[in-house]
Amino acid sequence: MRSRSRRVSTHSSGTAQTPPSRSACQRANRRVTFTMINLRVPARTEDTPPPRRAAADLCRRSRAARMRNPAWWPQVRADMTTIGLIGSGNIGSTVARLAVAAGYDVVLSNSRGPETLRDLVAELGPRARAGTPAQAATAGDIAVVTVPLKAYRDVPADALAGKVVIDTNNYYPERDGVIAELEDGSATTGELLQRHLADAHVVKGFNNIYFKHLATLSRPAGAADRTALPIAGDDAGAKRTVTGFLDRIGYDTVDVGPLAENWRTQRDTPVYVTPYGSFTDPVGTPADAGTVRKAVAAATPDAG
């Protein structure tokens, strides 16, 4: 068993200032002179950090400020009608079926090309079409990344900038190879994808439930036997958007916290598959929010 370090995010206080734009932040590490002019970094003294680090620190603080400001949060909008799926295997195709049943359009993609998805598109009907991963990312108002973790760096980052992205990945070393940050607990799977998709809003979801149970346990809002799924993310607005999507496809949610806490829902933790039944049970057992919350709380840093 490996250990995971616990981290607590803190925000520095200071005088109010207009946050730099994301493009300024992206340029901070490439064009220091330009950034110094626009951010008005003062002349250095012995106690002043180097310009590059000062700009990067300000960008990090401004991102935290944006995330605390509801005006910057992604909203659950009536025009969020298309789900882009990057990966269309067991989980991806199941999410697509649930989304179409709930009235969404879906754009499916995989690593083998749109032509290999012809049968699935035909099954789903006129609300479905196939494309490349970049096309699915561009078309989706919400994107679902459901590829093997080893392929996360192939996910098209530019096309997902500014979008809410649901990350279904789990870490299986026998499939993905050994990933040092996950072995030593310095990062979670969700944090890895968020680093790659620096301008997107990543929310971990769908990673703890067997795809057959995901297909069968969907229930209307208010049903006594409605099942809950855990989510984790650093952006409150993105989590609200995902909660709205899950509600429409038939699930309640349990907010686990930031992406740093998504180890609580990974493979071999108490909330992984077990609350919904065994792999040998194709129907599954409903698990309400209280059941899921209790299982999440029972996770220990050495599990997984």
How high is the pLDDT of residue 33?
A: 32
Cα distances (Å, whole numbers) of residue 244 to 38, 74, 101, 102, 247: 38, 12, 15, 12, 5
Question: Which residue, chain included where needed, has tokens 């106690």?
Answer: 47
CA distance 119 to 26: 41
How high is the pLDDT of residue 301?
A: 85
**Domains, the chain, ranges and CATH?**
22-72 (no CATH), 82-297 (3.40.50.720)
Q: CB neighbours of 17 closer than 8 A, spacing ≥ 6?
A: none
CA distance 212 to 93: 11
Measured at the CA of 114, the angle between CA 95 and CA 249, to 5 degrees, comes to 15
Sequential DSSP letters for 97-153: HHHHHTT-EEEEE-SS-GGGGHHHHHHH-TTEEE--HHHHHHH-SEEEE-S-GGGGG
**Is residue 291 within 8 Å of 285, Cβ to Cβ?**
no
C-beta pairs of 124-133 under 8 Å, 24+ apart in sequence: 124/96, 124/97, 124/100, 125/100, 127/100, 127/103, 128/96, 128/100, 129/105, 131/107, 133/86, 133/109
**Is residue 271 within 8 Å of 265, Cβ to Cβ?**
yes
How high is the pLDDT of residue 78?
A: 56
CA distance 254 to 215: 19
Is pTM, for the whole model, over 0.85? no
Query: For the purposes of burial, counting CB atoms within 10 Å of the CB of 136, is it exposed (0-12), middle (13-18) or buried (19 or more)?
Result: buried
For the stretch 127-145, pLDDT in tens is 999 999 999 999 999 999 9
How high is the pLDDT of residue 121?
A: 98
Pick out the chain residues at pLDDT < 50.
1-76, 304
Residues found in the chain = 304
For the stretch 15-48, pLDDT in tens is 333 444 444 444 444 333 333 333 333 444 444 4
Measured at the CA of 209, the angle between CA 203 and CA 212, to 5 degrees, comes to 130
Task: Give every strand in the sheet of 82-86, ordered side by side.
Answer: 128-130, 105-109, 82-86, 142-145, 164-167, 201-204, 228-233, 252-257
